[in-house]
Amino acid sequence: MAKRILLVADTGVTRFQLKNLLEKNGYRVFEATGGRQVLKDSFDSEMGLEDMHLVVLDMYLSDYEGKEILKAIKNRFDQLPVIVLSTGQTREKILEILEMGASDFLVKPVSEKEFLHRVTQGLKTPVDRSKSPNPPGKKRLGAKDLSNRVHEEVQRSLRSDSPVSIMAFRGKDRDLAIIHQAAWEMLRRIDSTFFLEDQVVLLLPATGSSGVEVVKNRLFESLDEEIKPDDLLVKTLIFPEDCSAEMVENYRVSELTDFLLKSLSR
């Protein structure tokens, strides 16, 4: 039986595009043109929120704020996954929305491939959102994973005009293992932790210089002086400000990805 998805957006073009995409991939899609229909559970005469497998919610609606609708959904159906769509947001705003119970957050415009991937992930068994998706006890994300994610985040950053930051830690093997564990436990699902041969790398979407300092300070505070900042070499790259303006303006994603990855290894 096809999975049922409620699409909440007041922009007809958004609903048309996403509905067609979802239906082509075998999902049954229901539409709500605003928050009122969701609050009244009146988007369909036969189906209600309790019958949905997932909700895709635009953060900006003409009648209600998306956060109000998210809160109402989670109050009634806590296990119902909700993917929030929005234009460029700060790291703090994204984390606030995840704290409210959203299972995922997508910055518009989003590619079809990425949207479908997130929908597939959202329909799986709910995960503990206080953890990042790559626990140290399982397969570690390495260099190839990092390359793919940097490429994706550069594209997302260029589309949404929001920054993305990369933090790299180098030090003794024992210290790197501790940093990796601590970062995995602290960071949220919008972030990723990668364990390379000689460094641990954190990829922080929607994060500028102030957000980087917050993450770094929180990370070292969580270590309870087990490791001090002086024990590690910490390098930070912030896209797009640390990259060539020419590459950014000409949307040269592959060159930008290569530049960022090579800069980490210097």
- The 10s digit of each residue's pLDDT in 206-219 is 888 888 998 898 88
For 75, residues 6+ apart whose C-beta sits below 8 A from its C-beta are: none
Instruction: Indicate if 96 and 163 belong to the same structural domain.
Output: no
Q: With respect to residue 217, please indicate whether it lies within any of the assigned structural domains.
A: yes
Q: Into how many domains does the chain fold?
A: 2
DSSP of 109-149, one letter per residue? S--HHHHHHHHHHHTSSP--TTS-S--TTSPPP-HHHHHHH
Query: Any idea what the CATH number is for the domain that residue 223 is in?
Result: 3.30.70.2880
Query: Any idea what the CATH number is for the domain that residue 91 is in?
Result: 3.40.50.2300
Evaluate if pTM is beyond 0.85: no
Instruction: Indicate if 118 and 172 belong to the same structural domain.
Output: no
pLDDT confidence tier of residue 139, bands split at 50, 70 and 90: low
Q: With respect to residue 129, please indicate whether it lies within any of the assigned structural domains.
A: no
Instruction: Kindly tell me if the per-residue pLDDT of 127 is higher than 50.
Output: no
Q: With respect to residue 225, please indicate whether it lies within any of the assigned structural domains.
A: yes
Instruction: Indicate if 53 and 95 belong to the same structural domain.
Output: yes
Q: pLDDT by residue (tens digit) across 53-62?
A: 999 999 888 8
Write out the two tokens for 88: 């460029």
Range of the domain at 261: 143-265
- What is the number of other CB atoms lying within 10 angstroms of the CB of residue 215? 21
